[in-house]
């Protein structure tokens, strides 16, 4: 049953990718479509971050990862360099896990 889901998902992904080549260019030139396409990566990365942060299998878990992401978000808002953001997040998670 799992292989069937993998094959069906692969076929759907391939079909969607192939449809991108046959969409007329005039459809892609519309401002609304351009805005929506620009937002897709942000939405997908946000969803991935949410799942990785609070999911543990099929359960929702609030632990040090949530605090680490929050601390990293604060560092980003303060315009810290990327390396500092990573260190702040890792240090926050380590500190919370120690206690």
Q: Is the pLDDT of residue 20 over 90?
A: no
Read out DSSP for 1-63? -HHHHHHHHHHHHHHHHHHHHHS-HHHHTSHHHHHHHHHHHHHHHHHHHHHHHHEETTEE--S
Output 25 or 65, whichever has higher pLDDT.
65
Residue 24's pLDDT is 85
Task: Tell me the average pLDDT across 1-15.
Answer: 90
pLDDT tens across 27-78, in order?
A: 888 899 889 888 989 999 999 988 888 988 888 889 999 999 999 999 999 9
List residues bridging with 55 in a β-sheet. 60
Q: Are 89 and 75 in contact (CB under 8 A)?
A: yes
The stretch 78-93 carries a mean pLDDT of 96
Report residue 19's pLDDT band, with 50, 70 and 90 as the boundaries: confident
Q: Per-residue pLDDT for 1 more than 80? A: no
């Amino acid at each position: 049953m799992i292989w069937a889901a993998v094959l069906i998902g692969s076929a759907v992904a391939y079909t969607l990718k192939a449809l991108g080549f046959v969409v007329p260019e005039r459809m892609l030139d519309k401002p609304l479509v351009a805005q929506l396409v620009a937002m897709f990566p942000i939405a997908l990365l946000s969803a991935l971050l949410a799942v990785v942060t609070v999911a543990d299998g099929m359960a929702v878990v609030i632990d040090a990862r949530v605090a680490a992401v929050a601390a990293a978000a604060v560092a980003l808002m303060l315009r810290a360099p990327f390396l500092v953001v990573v260190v702040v997040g890792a240090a926050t998670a380590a500190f919370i896990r120690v206690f």
